[in-house]
Amino acid sequence: MEGTARLGWSFDQNARRSKGLWMESVDMTPSSSTHIQQPLALSDSFTLRRLQTWDRMAVEALCNESFPIQYPDCWYDEVVSGGLLSTGLFDGEQLAAMVVSETKFLYDCNLEDQGILPSSNAHVAYILSIAVDKKFRRLGLATRLLNNLMSSLSDHPPYPRAVFLHVLSTNSAALSFYKMHGFEFHASLPEYYRIGEQLADGCTYVKYINGTYTNVTFTDVCRTFGNTICMPLKAICKMLSF
């Protein structure tokens, strides 16, 4: 799975049409809850540590290699300055893989993400990106980073109730990766990404943690009830048609 460079293509953006132009805005406001202590060691030759200001060039090179989206300079500043929860796996001094996330209140999230939980006062964690250097793929590094992040979110305050991310709808490798790790489809995001001059659809995937379960809506209940009633009727009709 880590054979793909594009594990998520996540970019917290609102793309909206204005006089024929597409404007992209990024919420870079740091949250005090983003500073969650993480384990800082692995059992093999790779070292896990927070990204620092001197890692900026390596982070930018890895993102340029991994993602079709061009991140602004301010995003890299947030990644290495502590404004976001940014962790790297290093082989010696070389950055092999990284994960960037943040924890915030649901009411601070974009409007399209506020239906993840019924309470807007709940904390949620958002994974902005996971990237693995092409020389280190197929070693399970993305899985290690994700597992480390999930463990940290479960063991330390503010104990977010859900972890979510955005992913390109056509990125089948990333979709398989997140599904394999327990993430569930939440919503479609038409024309969410701007890649060059093209617009591309995205989707939201969510994993509920810390005792929280899937957010079941009234529509979901009606759909399940309808399927329960209709399926036996369809079977009976099929039998009678013979």
pLDDT in tens, 41-69: 454 689 999 999 999 999 999 999 998 88
> Could you tell me if residue 5 is inside a domain?
no
Q: Answer whether residue 221 is part of any domain.
A: no
Hey, is 164 helix, strand or coil? strand
Provide the 3-class DSSP secondary structure of residue 107.
helix
Residue 109: pLDDT band with limits 50, 70, 90: very high
Is the residue at 133 inside a domain? yes
- Is 159 designated active site? no
Q: At 205, phi and psi to the nearest 5?
A: -120, 145
- The CB-side HSE value for 20 (13 A sphere, CA atoms) comes to 0
pTM of the model: 0.72
What is the number of domains present in the chain? Answer: 1
Catalytic residue among 71, 76, 166, 205: 166
Domain that holds residue 106: 13-214
**Across 97-102, average pLDDT:** 97
Q: pLDDT tens-digit profile of 166-193?
A: 999 999 999 999 999 999 999 999 999 9
| 156 catalytic residue (yes or no) | no
- Say how far apart CA 150 and CA 184 lie, in whole Å: 15
234 lies in a domain?
Answer: no
- Domain-embedded: residue 8: no
- Asked whether residue 20 is domain-assigned, the answer is yes
Strands (E), the chain: 13-18, 21-26, 46-50, 85-91, 94-105, 123-132, 162-168, 184-195, 198-208
Which residue among 126, 192, 193, 205 is the active-site one?
126
Domain containing residue 107: CATH number: 3.40.630.30
Sign of the torsion formed by the C-alpha atoms of 177, 183, 184 and 189:
negative
